[in-house]
Chain A
Amino acid sequence: MMLQVKDISFSIADKQILHNITFSIHQGKFVGLIGPNGSGKSTMLKIIYRHLKQTSGMVTLYEDDIIHISQKKLAQEIAVVSQETPVLFDFTVKDLVLMGRTPYKKWLANDNQEDFAIVEESMHLANVQHLENRTFNQLSGGEKKRVMLARALAQQAKILILDEPTNHLDIEHQYQLMDLVKGLPITIVAALHDLNLAAGYCDELLVMKDGALYMEGTPEEVLTEETLKRVFHVQAGISKNPFTKKLHLFFYTKQ
């Protein structure tokens, strides 16, 4: 088992944010984390990449408690694209993507040909190669997102964690990014808001509600009218996308 979340709870002061969450993630899967605002998706992800420390429970990577993995080693295993990355002062896109190589660098090591090749490839994959000499803070929201993705790709981690990766992206780049991520030979864990994207790309979905894991399974198992009503409080119709044969959801409210 690649990644296991075992009985994780998390509280801030007296408020419990996550309640006894347990799930496992298999190698190579694209796992979507869905749920309404405030259901604890981001918090769960932050605990997995150890930005937050759980109140109780354990996260294991290849059976090892991540608490015992060094920061550097963890960065070689898990790469993260968070929701917002404020960049103080400014860097060129290329320099930023190159920072993805940080976890592999020893004190005196210079950036070598291999690093530059990986950076090129990552920029190419994330479709930001044409921006390489631009400075980050001049870019649009969507471009910034793709640059951060390229930086995470340059990390060459085995697990990629994405927190709402399609935010700020126009429809073309949403699908482009999801296609790209789907094509990677690594494990993906993504918090997603767009349920059609989740249905179209994820192998498995974890549904969160009020800080607890409400349900897990394939998109077909999870995305039912019943679940959508209970968790998201919307009326939904479910059909099949005639082109992709994936689930297609449409929503309405009773007026």
Chain B
Amino acid sequence: MKKNRYALLIIALIVGLLASMTFAVMVGSVDITPRIIWELLFTKLGLSLETTVSNPQSIIIWEIRLPRVILAAIVGAALSISGAAIQALVKNSIADPYILGVSSGASVGATSVILLGAFSAIGNYALSFAAFLGAIFAVIIVFLLARVNGRISVVRLLLAGIAISMVFSAITNFMLMMSKQQGGIQAVMHWMLGSLAGAKWSNLGIPFFIFLLVFTLLLLNYRQLNALLLGEETAATLGINLDRFRIFIILFVSLLTGVIVAVSGSIGFVGLIIPHLVRMMVGSNYKVVLPISALIGAIFLVWADMVARIVIAPEEMPIGIITAVCGSPFFIWMLRRRRYSFGDGE
């Protein structure tokens, strides 16, 4: 009975996601009907030969809007499952995927590319590459700081994450302070608040496959994630090798968030709020929480990006502003609800 209910919910959300994505492709300065989108899609996939889609329409859909909408879905799904996993790892309901220093590390990388022209040899990929490098570098430091006698302490992990984030933010701010280029500073701000404007088919592949990999690995380990919520001691008596499992989560979640931040900047709030929303709907069992978080996160970000594109058109609003503005009131509403305790237990 219950199982069927979740299956139905998942199917409904998949339909919802496809509908949202179709709608998001339609919206913009050039109007496009859903029929055109699906017709083009079938043509591109070689399933239909006749087409009434004009060439400019085709370019707008295929080269600009579709990759962007797909990237939005991937980023939303990835941030949501990362947040859900991190919340289990550190047993803390205010944790988000950036708690291990990913976003501040990435910011240093991105800023040094934008303002100082680092890695200019690799051209267009410099920004993503530097951001990823910064993110992974920050996580490694946090990880090493949190290890005492070969064991990872959760409190140390959280505090090291905060400390390293502060140091890296200071470096970013210092570079911004010293910079004379107005345009560069603006570009850094834009990057830090997140944007999906850089979406191209060529940069969808890595995020998509890393997302699939990490999602699958987390789902295969849903029992371990559940057990972590019962505390270290009980998790261990249920046969979980805590040290190994923690390293596993840190490794793969950092990889995923690092890749995501590299292509989209640090979009806030999604990784914090979506897992809570999902738990409020379906409880804490990670077997259900993971797929539903991925789907709802994807839908949320597709809509957020669409709003970001049109709200001050022809300018673009950074998507991080949209997620915060839409997310906060909703989060506050959740806070005031009695039935959901944010994991407090009382």
Binding site for B on A (CB under 8 A): 46, 49-51, 70-76, 78-80, 82, 85-92, 95-96, 99-100, 102-103, 105, 107-108, 135, 137, 155
Taking CB as reference atom, which chain B residue is nearest A78?
Answer: B237
Binds A, one of B168-176, B238-246, B250-258: B238-246
Could you give 10 example pairs across A and B, Cβ below 8 Å? A71-B236, A73-B239, A80-B237, A87-B231, A88-B91, A89-B229, A89-B279, A90-B341, A95-B285, A99-B227
A85 touches B230 (CB 8 A): yes
Minimum CB–CB distance from A61 to chain B (whole Å) comes to: 14
**CB within 8 A of A99: which of B93, B220, B226?**
B226
Interface of A is mostly: mixed
Q: How large is the interface on B (under 10, 10 to 19, 20 to 34, 35 or more residues)?
A: 20 to 34
Binding site for A on B (CB under 8 A): 88, 91, 93, 220-221, 223-224, 226-227, 229-231, 233-234, 236-241, 279, 283-285, 341, 343, 345-346
B241 contacts which chain A residues (CB < 8 A)?
70-72
A82 touches B233 (CB 8 A): yes
**CB within 8 A of A91: which of B88, B93, B284?**
B284
Task: Give the 9 A-B CB pairs with smallest separation, nearest first.
Answer: A75-B239, A103-B239, A89-B284, A72-B239, A80-B237, A102-B238, A89-B343, A88-B343, A71-B241
Which residue, of B223, B237, B279, B284, has the highest number of chain A Cβ atoms within 10 A? B237
How far is A74 from B241 in the complex, measured between Cα atoms in Å? 11
Taking CB as reference atom, which chain B residue is nearest A108?
Answer: B220
B283 contacts which chain A residues (CB < 8 A)?
90-92, 95, 135
Known: A75-B239, A102-B238, A155-B238. A87 touches B345 (CB 8 A): yes
Taking CB as reference atom, which chain A residue is nearest B240?
Answer: A71
How far is A89 from B241 in the complex, measured between Cα atoms in Å? 21
How far is A50 from B237 in the complex, measured between Cα atoms in Å? 8
How far is A96 from B284 in the complex, measured between Cα atoms in Å? 11
How far is A135 from B343 in the complex, measured between Cα atoms in Å? 12
**CB within 8 A of A90: which of B220, B236, B284?**
B284
Taking CB as reference atom, which chain A residue is nearest B346?
Answer: A137
For the complex with contacts A80-B237, A88-B229, A88-B345, 6 further pairs of A-B residues with Cβ separation under 8 Å are A72-B239, A75-B237, A91-B285, A95-B285, A99-B230, A103-B238
A91 contacts which chain B residues (CB < 8 A)?
226, 229, 283-285
Minimum CB–CB distance from B94 to chain A (whole Å) comes to: 12
Which residue, of A51, A100, A102, has the highest number of chain B Cβ atoms within 10 A? A102
Known: A88-B93, A137-B345. A82 touches B285 (CB 8 A): no
Known: A49-B237, A88-B91, A135-B283. A99 touches B345 (CB 8 A): no
Known: A89-B343, A107-B220. A102 touches B284 (CB 8 A): no
Minimum CB–CB distance from B235 to chain A (whole Å) comes to: 9
B239 touches A76 (CB 8 A): yes
Known: A86-B231, A108-B220, A135-B283. A51 touches B236 (CB 8 A): yes
B91 contacts which chain A residues (CB < 8 A)?
88
B229 contacts which chain A residues (CB < 8 A)?
87-89, 91
B88 contacts which chain A residues (CB < 8 A)?
88
Minimum CB–CB distance from A68 to chain B (whole Å) comes to: 14
B220 contacts which chain A residues (CB < 8 A)?
107-108
A71 touches B239 (CB 8 A): yes
Minimum CB–CB distance from B339 to chain A (whole Å) comes to: 10
A99 touches B238 (CB 8 A): yes
Minimum CB–CB distance from B264 to chain A (whole Å) comes to: 28
How far is A80 from B234 in the complex, measured between Cα atoms in Å? 8
A86 contacts which chain B residues (CB < 8 A)?
230-231, 345
A85 touches B231 (CB 8 A): yes
A71 contacts which chain B residues (CB < 8 A)?
236, 239-241
A78 contacts which chain B residues (CB < 8 A)?
237
B233 contacts which chain A residues (CB < 8 A)?
46, 51, 80, 82
Taking CB as reference atom, which chain B residue is nearest A104?
Answer: B239
Minimum CB–CB distance from B270 to chain A (whole Å) comes to: 19
Minimum CB–CB distance from B129 to chain A (whole Å) comes to: 33
A103 contacts which chain B residues (CB < 8 A)?
238-239
Taking CB as reference atom, which chain A residue is nearest B236?
Answer: A51
How far is A94 from B12 in the complex, measured between Cα atoms in Å? 26
How far is A96 from B285 in the complex, measured between Cα atoms in Å? 9
B284 touches A75 (CB 8 A): no
Known: A90-B284, A91-B285. A102 touches B341 (CB 8 A): no
